Amino acid sequence: MTTEESTTARRESTRARIIEAADRILRSKGPAAVTTRAVAQEAGLQPPALYRLFDDKEALLDAVAEHAFAEYVEGKKLVAATDDPVADLRAGWDAQIGFGLANPSVFALLSTPGRQSPTTEAGLDVLRGRVHRVAAAGRLRVPEQEAVDLIHAAGTGAVHTLLGKPESQRTTAVADALYAAVAATILGDAPALPADDTTAAAVSFRALIHRLPRLSEAERSLMTEWLDRATAE
């Protein structure tokens, strides 16, 4: 191992040590307890060691959230895509509810209003992808962003509601009912024909515009603008 490789290995080892220490504090005492001094003491390091690896407390918390989410995904296995985008959407919902209930402190951190987190954005990107597949299949009856907002809001609310109950009372009934309500709002029973549901047809067509190779980028952009206007309330 070269000197540079040894330095990099030590740096990564120290970084992992700090993240694990912050994770323990976060889970046992909550986000407010994750201070530079507390984390350094828990990790057996001096505070300057943290500053060399993380710009500030927010960067450290983001790293902890990413670490916790990666551990959860590894244990539960990432929900793989199937040939049924609607079933995949529901499986993603169940996975997110499960993560929130299994990691209440991390979930509280990720769902703090106004806080921008790479982990939260990554999760939303996955949701956007799943919603887009439903739209492309002709099963979405509202604009894609509206569906993403409804699912995200309902999922966040479901987890917060369940976490507010004693652990013995945390059944999936509330989450199941919320998903059913959202699904009834955003999903159609079958691929829509224009005569059946013009909004669903427009949403589906918008999701497939990129597959029309003979259109220029300007033409795709204009058509997207028309379809967005057509589906706006």
* Tokens (6 digits) for 63: 């790293």
Fold (CATH) for 58-231? Tetracycline Repressor; domain 2 (1.10.357)
Rg (CA), the chain: 22
Q: Report if pTM > 0.75.
A: no
Q: Provide the 3-class DSSP secondary structure of residue 159.
A: helix
- Sequence length of the chain is 233
The pLDDT tens digits along the chain (233 residues) read 576 667 788 888 899 999 999 989 988 888 888 888 899 999 999 888 888 888 888 888 888 888 887 776 665 555 667 889 999 999 999 988 988 998 888 888 778 877 777 777 888 888 999 999 998 888 898 889 999 999 999 999 999 999 999 988 888 899 999 999 999 999 987 664 544 566 766 676 677 666 666 667 777 777 677 677 777 75
Start-end of CATH 1.10.357 domains in the chain: 58-231
C-alpha to C-alpha distance for 133 and 204, rounded to whole angstroms:
9
Backbone angles phi, psi at 166, to 5 degrees: -55, 145
Fold (CATH) for 1-54? Arc Repressor Mutant, subunit A (1.10.10)
Start-end of CATH 1.10.10.60 domains in the chain: 1-54
Q: How far is CA 138 from CA 35, 63, 85, 134, 199, in A?
A: 49, 38, 10, 7, 10
Q: Do residues 15 and 62 touch, judged by C-beta distance below 8 A?
A: no
**Predicted pLDDT at 1:** 59
Q: Burial, 180: exposed, middle or buried (Cβ in 10 Å; 0-12, 13-18, 19+)?
A: exposed
C-alpha to C-alpha distance for 228 and 233, rounded to whole angstroms:
10
| DSSP secondary structure, 89-107, as one string | HHHHHHHHHHHHHH-HHHH
User: What single-letter amino acid sits at 36?
Assistant: T
C-alpha to C-alpha distance for 127 and 187, rounded to whole angstroms:
15
- DSSP letter, residue 142: S
